[in-house]
Amino acid sequence: MKEKLQEEFKRRFGDGAMLFASPGRVNLIGEHTDYNLGFVLPGAIDKAIYVAIKPNGGKACRLYSLDYDAQIEVDMAGPLPEPQWARYIYGVVQEMQKRGASVPAFDCVFGGDVPLGAGLSSSAALESVFGFALNDIYDLGFERKTLAQIGQMTEHNYVGVRCGIMDQFASLFGRKGRVIRLDCRSLDYELVPFDPEGCRLVLLDTMVKHSLASSEYNVRRMQCETGVAVVSRHIPSVRSLRDMTMDMLNTYKDEMDEVVYRRCSYVINENQRLLDGCKALDRGDYALFGQKMFGSHDGLSKEYEVSCDELDFIAGIAHTTDGVLGARMMGGGFGGCVISLVQDAAYEAYVGDVKERFAHRYGVTPRSIDVVISDGARRLE
């Protein structure tokens, strides 16, 4: 990919490009906890968006997308550009300028190997690589945390996606052999060891996305807020599910709908599973961490009800397969991937079994995507 970018840049714009990369991410545990101001545990992966970039001394930026085989010229002082992919780059520049930075025009060629449609956050990787690259070549002085916020605001203001900050944070702060315990309330973080010798992470993509996802996401947020409102009437210090314990929830259980209770119960328990899982990783206990992953899927399926038959089918196979330490659905739900922690000796049989049985039941073969926890945004030599 690096050589391809350099060659394409030289062909279109000449010599002298600098190369940067920023990865996609997985989230090992902690789903639907972010907007409840809880914890998440993402890690950067060995698949990234790459950019070759160089100041051009002109007034307009020339952008070439390797993946779309399309080149456009953008005036960063002008209106929101088309196509959609250009808006991510435009938005990063706008958000930097809002914070007082001067971003002169540049030429770039970019592309990546982050699998699309698998929930690995290629969009956050795109925002992060441009934020990191522009910050570096123009010496803008932004910290990585600010670059993550710039990426998040790009999604909000120029793409129309009200995302959290986990994806950009993981893409920028990732470290090989470490996952990131991120506090979504304070943005404090801790790098937790994740180097399971003799095991690997694999995503099994159901290749389906049910239309419930976007509407049900908003319903879940509202249900969580309803539960918080009940408890906060009695305990004013409770402002989110992050502030709530199961004892508090059970004390006022009779004042809320049973569905609201289950949603709140899941989030409170998921935060605790994550914290317990991090302690297990500190001790190198991957078997216990895997059990926390299974518990996460069980809660997402039965209490938060954001799974689907296809995800539960794969998770069920994982649960009954020797050598699979843990597995759970990853992402918003109603489709997408199951992430599994699998011993090397069991890997081939497990992946083959899932593909065969899934294809027999649903008529489509899930794709498998191996990922390795790797470094975050960086300049390439």
Active-site residue numbers? 167
* N-to-C CA span, the chain: 14
CB-based contacts of 48: which residues, under 8 Å, 6+ apart? 21, 22, 23, 24, 112, 113, 114, 125, 129
d(CA 156, CA 164): 9
Non-local (6+) Cβ contacts of 61 within 8 A are: 73, 74, 75, 76, 89, 93, 105, 106, 107, 108
- Overall size of the chain counted in residues: 381
In angstroms, the CA 231 to CA 252 distance is 7
C-alpha to C-alpha distances, 128 to 21, 123, 172, 308, 358, nearest whole angstrom? 9, 9, 6, 31, 35
d(CA 233, CA 262): 19
